[in-house]
Amino acid sequence: MEHPEIVALDQAFEAVEQDARAVVAGLTEAQGIWRKDPASWSIAQCLDHLATSNRVYLSAMRPAAEDALRRGRKRRRPAVPGLIGGWFVRIMEPPVKRRFTTRAPKKIVPRESPSLQDAARVFLASQDDVRAFLRAYADTDLAGVRFVNPFAPAIRFSLATGLHVLASHDRRHLWQGWNVRKAFEQSA
């Protein structure tokens, strides 16, 4: 993994993992499943949503990456998003602007009441999978190989965009988790 943008992505996923550990640090199960109101998510649900969305996204990306590897599609340029993909990554970043909030697609809605411990465990396992994918395909043409977006089949992103989307989406919902934690602490 000697390419600067691959190293930066790996560091971004490491920072996400550390942030996830920090947001749950010292919380009881009750605090981890606390919601500000019935329509909002708990910290556990934020982590559960991220674990599920990471798995769904990787499942969509993996066949394209495996095919590229089989066909010998070597890296030709940096693994960065293009113009449209870059815009999409930027709108995912926290702090989230109200006009860019949407309901989670059905296939990645978090479980109704996962335990904090289980949600953290599955999220961290999904992060391991994301980082393993990054390492396995670092020398593949990530910027040139496209996959079908699992939430909007008419959209095809590069694998590089997909990896950047995963990182920004993780940051987005960890930011949400921190907001839940602050609201809990203020209500106590």
Q: What is the pLDDT of residue 99?
A: 67
Closest to 117 in 3D by CA, of 36, 21, 49 = 21
CA distance 64 to 150: 13
DSSP sequence for 108-125: GPPPSS--HHHHHHHHHH
Which residues, including other chains, have CB under 8 Å from residue 15's CB and lie 6 or more apart?
Answer: none
Q: Are the C-beta atoms of 43 and 32 separated by less than 8 Å?
A: yes
Handedness of CA 27, 58, 11, 86 (dihedral sign): negative
Q: What is the pLDDT of residue 100?
A: 62
Q: What is the pLDDT of residue 106?
A: 87
Average pLDDT score over residue span 72-78: 94
CA distance 42 to 31: 9
User: pLDDT class for 1, splitting at 50, 70, 90?
Assistant: low
CA distance 59 to 166: 13
First to last CA, the chain: 46
pLDDT one-digit tens code per residue, 15-69: 999 999 999 999 999 999 999 999 999 999 999 999 999 999 999 999 999 999 9
Domains and CATH numbers, the chain: 4-187 (1.20.120.450)
pTM: predicted TM-score of the whole model, two decimal places: 0.94
Q: Are the C-beta atoms of 84 and 162 separated by less than 8 Å?
A: no
CA distance 53 to 123: 10
